[in-house]
Amino acid sequence: MMALPYITEHTGFTGTVYATEPTVQIGRLLMEELVNFIERVPKAQSASLWKNKDTQRLLPSPLKDAVEVSTWRRCYTMQEVNSALSKIQLVGYSQKIELFGAVQVTPLSSGYALGSSNWIIQSHYEKVSYVSGSSLLTTHPQPMDQASLKNSDVLILTGLTQIPTANPDGMVGEFCSNLALTVRNGGNVLVPCYPSGVIYDLLECLYQYIDSAGLSSIPFYFISPVANSSLEFSQIFAEWLCHNKQTKVYLPEPPFPHAELIQTNKLKHYPSIHGDFSNDFRQPCVVFTGHPSLRFGDVVHFMELWGKSSLNTVIFTEPDFSYLEALAPYQPLAMKCIYCPIDTRLNFIQVSKLLKEVQPLHVVCPEQYTQPPPAQSHRVDLMIDCQPPAMSYRRAEVLALPFRRRYEKIEIMPELADSLVPMEIKPGISLATVSAVLHTKDNKHVLQPPPRPAQPTGGKKRKRPSDDIPDCKVLKPLLSGSIPVEQFVQTLEKHGFSDIKVEDTAKGHIVLLQEAETLIQIEEDSTHIICDNDEVLRVRLRDLVLKFLQKF
């Protein structure tokens, strides 16, 4: 969602954006924080000539290795954020959203964050699931809705865990013990983090942990321009939370225990390090602040303040950035650095479990998931393994999905349905021929009964012969079946034809009506009536033949 303003504000996009309410509210907070951090350090000049490919080639690493530099953009402004968010239409989980009458889109809980969604895109006969950033672990959000993903023709799978080898539970334990160790030794702990997401779980763990670890006197600071909003918003989205937290609301109690931490003054939040914070600041303490890249935001101050003492610890929990690269400009550092990435998104074991459960006909995923990570090429377990093999895609690649649309829904009006006469062709299979007028509006098709033929105007003389020319578009049904000669002859006799002669031919029979100079060739799949120009006779014969055939 963080790139939304680039699409809605700069590409001429005029469509609607669908998202859940927590996604919009928390997404707004994340963007607001980002914009705030960036705008605190305005740049007088910006260099762009280095982006020229020939120049870039000559630059030192890491500039040399940066990819797609020409697509890099300036950060958006709050105005653009607001404009982008105003284009969003709020939706709820399991809400069926009709798009142009052609497809239906439904968000489902993905279990990763407050309001995070997987999406189903389906027509009446096809179903595509988009699974991105999902989690099967029990944290604060509503559990992932797996059942609704079943019977997908195609499942697009992306947003898997970035740290497939780390176990989030173990990491949380490590986080707590390192934190406690540092604080007990009189050091400070810095946790570079985003203002929403894993921080709620971390605070909850600490809530349970601090008393037993004897840390109840240590202040926790959460510094972010949106800290207060984030903590408040997390409490009001009860409907998007896991069952445990939902039931708290019925008591009524706030779903997250950080409310109690705030009440008891153990957790304090500030919009920035300026103002109130400088008065309240006590050490040793634990500080949660952004940005996790360590390139901007209040975290920079704390890195510089605490970096020189080995008593202090920085604990990385966000998996988005390599901690070594993040720390590089601060080296040499005396402070301890702990890497406890907590990424609750699906790992490869969970993916194969999920695919077994959901059983899509085809899986589509980014190319990197179809091979082991480059750094661990022997770990064949770190890739998606499914049958048939997953189709992979790359940046800017267009993929043709392997299914063909064969059917579409059409409604038969009740009046028309009443006029249809089905006949049973085979046991359990009935057929009815339908001649109807097709009406299509908003991609919805309706069959209506054909208009009544205009009453033939009796004795009135026709002015032009062309008035009488039949409309060849009136379709006659196809015929099927075969005609048993003997019965046919009997029928003919019954209807007053005499002098009937039957001749056998290579393929069938010829029935001769000598008196009428008429010849009827009967073969397995065809009948040919050859007669004089006697319409009455022809129609009589036709009707007799049709008796033996089925119409379609």
Partner 1 sequence: MLLSHVVHTAATEVCFPSPLSVLQGEGPRASCGAGAGQDVGRSCILVSIGGKNVMLDCGMHMGFSDDRRFPDFSYITRNGRLTDFLDCVIISHFHLDHCGALPYFSEMVGYDGPIYMTQPTQAICPILLEDYRKIAVDKKGEANFFTSQMIKDCMKKVVAVHLHQTVQVDDELEIKAYYAGHVLGAAMFQIKVGSESVVYTGDYNMTPDRHLGAAWIDKCRPNLLITESTYATTIRDSKRCRERDFLKKVHETVERGGKVLIPVFALGRAQELCILLETFWERMDLKAPIYFSTGLTEKANHYYKLFIPWTNQKIRKTFVQRNMFEFKHIKAFDRAFADSPGPMVVFATPGMLHAGQSLQIFRKWAGSERNMVIMPGYCVQGTVGHKILSGQRKLEMEGRQVLEVKMQVEYMSFSAHADAKGIMQLVGQAEPENVLLVHGEAKKMEFLKQKIEQEFRVSCYMPANGETVTLSTSPSIPVGISLGLLKREMAQGLLPDAKKPRLLHGTLIMKDSNFRLVSSEQALKELGLAEHQLRFTCRVHLHDTRKEQETALRVYSHLKSVLKDHCVQHLPDGSVTVESILIQAAAHSEDPSTKVLLVSWTYQDEELGSYLTSLLKKGLPQAS
Within residues 246-305, the interface with partner 1 by CB under 8 A covers: 246, 249-250, 252, 254-255
Which CB atom, from 361 or from 425, has the smaller least distance to partner 1? 425
Least distance to partner 1 from the beta carbon of 493, Å? 21
Q: Is 150 in the site for partner 1 (CB under 8 A)?
A: no
Which 196-255 residues touch partner 1, going by CB under 8 A?
A: 228-229, 232-233, 235-239, 246, 249-250, 252, 254-255
Which CB atom, from 267 or from 286, has the smaller least distance to partner 1? 267
Q: Is 481 in the site for partner 1 (CB under 8 A)?
A: yes
Q: Please give the C-alpha separations between residue 33 and each of 27, 81, 224, 324, in angstroms, as whole numbers.
A: 10, 11, 7, 24
Which 350-369 residues touch partner 1, going by CB under 8 A?
A: none
Which 494-533 residues touch partner 1, going by CB under 8 A?
A: 524-533
Which CB atom, from 89 or from 310, has the smaller least distance to partner 1? 89
CA angle 93, 97, 101 (to 5 degrees): 160
Rounded Cα distance between 239 and 520, Å, is 77
Which CB atom, from 56 or from 228, has the smaller least distance to partner 1? 228
Q: Going residue by residue from 74 to 93, which x/- string records binding to partner 1, judged by CB under 8 A?
A: -----------------xxx
Q: Is 433 in the site for partner 1 (CB under 8 A)?
A: yes
Query: Does residue 115 come out as left (phi exceeding 0), alpha (psi in the -120 to 50 range) or beta?
Result: left
Q: Please give the C-alpha separations between residue 518 and each of 48, 485, 491, 514, 538, in angstroms, as whole numbers.
A: 92, 16, 16, 6, 9
Rounded Cα distance between 235 and 250, Å, is 13
Q: Is 462 in the site for partner 1 (CB under 8 A)?
A: no
Q: Is 375 in the site for partner 1 (CB under 8 A)?
A: no
Give the 3-state secondary structure of 133-153.
CCCCCCCCECCCCCHHHCCCC
**Sole binder of partner 1 in the list 15, 42, 451, 459 (CB under 8 A):** 451
* 508 φ/ψ angles, rounded to the nearest 5 degrees: -175, -130
Least distance to partner 1 from the beta carbon of 434, Å? 5
| Burial (Cβ within 10 Å: 0-12, 13-18, ≥19) of residue 62 | exposed
b/e map 109-120, b = 16+ CB within 10 Å: bbbbbbbbbbbb
Least distance to partner 1 from the beta carbon of 212, Å? 29
Least distance to partner 1 from the beta carbon of 425, Å? 6
Least distance to partner 1 from the beta carbon of 292, Å? 23
Least distance to partner 1 from the beta carbon of 426, Å? 7
Which CB atom, from 483 or from 489, has the smaller least distance to partner 1? 483
Which of 242, 255, 248 has its CA nearest to residue 138? 242
CB-based contact 416:448 (threshold 8 Å): yes
